[in-house]
Chains A and B, each alone.
Chain A
């Protein structure tokens, strides 16, 4: 643990102002943070805990640097989750390794003051200079909400500025305020005073509100939360999302594919034959290329998730599914971590921090790896492309899309089953809370969506650039050495280390129909699922007796594998915990190796069982 950095001298004296954004969830705090700092953001974790830490900086008009910390959204200093505890401890200067902020910017939604002002009053007791940012004041004005900011400022004892986080120049007043001298400390409220009563007085004196709710929210909720219409719309949305991931990405993927092929050819004509050319063309270009090609799908999936999140729909989905998920031993809140896990289990498992109840949280973490993450998509896409005919069913359903949908459903059903089993096995059945806020609907802003997408794209490309690329090179070494003897008759890879490992594993996987090439690909695929595709590409590129390294993987496997083998491998990938990062994040989030062991054990068990059943049944039927 680091020593506290905070000292008695505020960093403002050194020229850098250290500001923290605090506020309720759904106050538009992160949009404000994006607007202030743009792309100059650093995303990491708070020391010792796995709460996401977002920091950025910008230069004020005076030239002074302002560091902004985006603290996790919080309802109360009486923390009920690790996120809320971080916010409380950082504000109080009690968090090891975090300097205490010089100034708190309390972000409140101007249309939700009844709830948000209570937290502002609570924050006054911690003894830091404060500024109130009345966010979304454009929406408030449209709803006819009038706020006397001068009076509010005087009554609260702190400067009040209006902000519109989603508008260019919407933060100018806030920046001017931050650039000015630090405001005086607000007077601490009477410890015995009822904050709700004070909020009531502030509202009746400073704010005029024609209507408590937005008409549009009432109308939308009547439809979207309707017991049958709501569920139908949710199903259609999810279905459309997965169809789009497959069909919209296709032209982009063809483009990337052509580009990678062109680079491979160009490099191989430039270089002389030998190990270097083989490493570059067969190892690095073929390997990395076959993973980068899935970037469009991952980004489209994230685009949907981000839009649903920004629009306020995700908590509605949690509302609709809560009872169902409680029945399975989860909570409606698990919906958001589990939906994120469709992109990647790592952020999904980390998002489980927002579940206050430790038991619900653990159950969510343990089943999150069953959600079909985007790293499985390369494997699914390859196998579906090779074995499922491109056909239209019932007029407009794409058969390949339907199979993909079925694989997603298989993961979901398995997750519900496993969670239900865990619930049945454990003794403790005390109550846990939902208490989920359903925020006003908002039109997602392209600026925030693009920052979110940019974050995802860089995370994915960093993985390609580091773990995946180095494993691809390692696999190339394993597959190329030792070189075959001079009188060799088979493909070179059969004599290499990888070939030997693959052959050794073959007897384990023979009952599920995996050949030795698949077994080799499973070894580096333990580190990350999508590596299996590049591994297969490498194995087959090197194993083929022709020199044509850019030969497409797809026709090779569709001619060499049986349908039963392909289906068995699909079933394997629904369950197998082939992702070191997921296991590492489970260790970090649960602080327990036992949980890692349980997760890996049950997932491998399920994977083998599912593959075995699939292979044997498919062989009987074909």
Chain B
């Protein structure tokens, strides 16, 4: 796997949970976005849209068919992300 910008993260932090696995309405922060392959424009765009380390993120809803796509709140903005896109985003759930 290739990690852009985030390769300095300690390994244990890298795979705590993926955004696609996060329960609805659970508070979490972004750890990093994983690139699928050398050049991953989807991962790059996710970072541009604000999926960067430390940013609070939350899954608010899912689509009616096969629970896809996900409605994700990042920063002040809501995005619809398919599960494959949300899988790239590693998150750390907030301590209860």
Contacts and interface: CB of A to CB of B under 8 A. Distances in A.
A431 interface: yes
B33 to A, nearest CB: 12
Nearest to B64: A227
Interface stretch (A109-117, A252-260, A476-484, A595-603): A109-117
B65 interface: yes
A320 B69 CA distance: 8
A543 B82 CA distance: 59
Contact of B49 (A115, A315, A318, A320): A115
Interface in B5-58: 36, 41-42, 44-46, 48-50, 52, 55-56
A231 B61 CA distance: 14
B64 A231 contact: yes
Nearest to B75: A114
Interface in A89-121: 111-115, 118
Interface residue range, chain B: 20 to 34
A326 B41 CA distance: 20
Interface residue range, chain A: 35 or more
B85 A433 contact: yes
A323 B79 contact: no
A79 to B, nearest CB: 10
Contacts, number: 112
A182 to B, nearest CB: 29
Contacts of B44: 78
Contact of B64 (A222, A230, A438): A230
Nearest to A214: B76
Given A80-B45, A437-B79, A438-B78, A212 B64 contact: no
B61 A225 contact: yes
A403 interface: no
Given A112-B76, A436-B80, A438-B79, A332 B64 contact: no
Interface of B: 36, 41-42, 44-46, 48-50, 52, 55-56, 60-66, 68-69, 71, 73, 75-82, 84-85
8 contacts: A80-B41, A113-B76, A118-B48, A217-B78, A319-B71, A322-B69, A433-B82, A434-B80
Interface of A: 75-76, 78, 80, 111-115, 118, 194, 196, 209, 212-213, 217-218, 221-222, 225-228, 230-231, 315, 318-320, 322-324, 326-327, 332, 431, 433-438
Given A111-B76, A437-B77, A438-B78, 15 more contacts: A75-B45, A114-B50, A115-B75, A115-B77, A118-B48, A226-B61, A227-B62, A228-B64, A230-B64, A322-B80, A326-B68, A326-B82, A434-B85, A435-B46, A438-B80
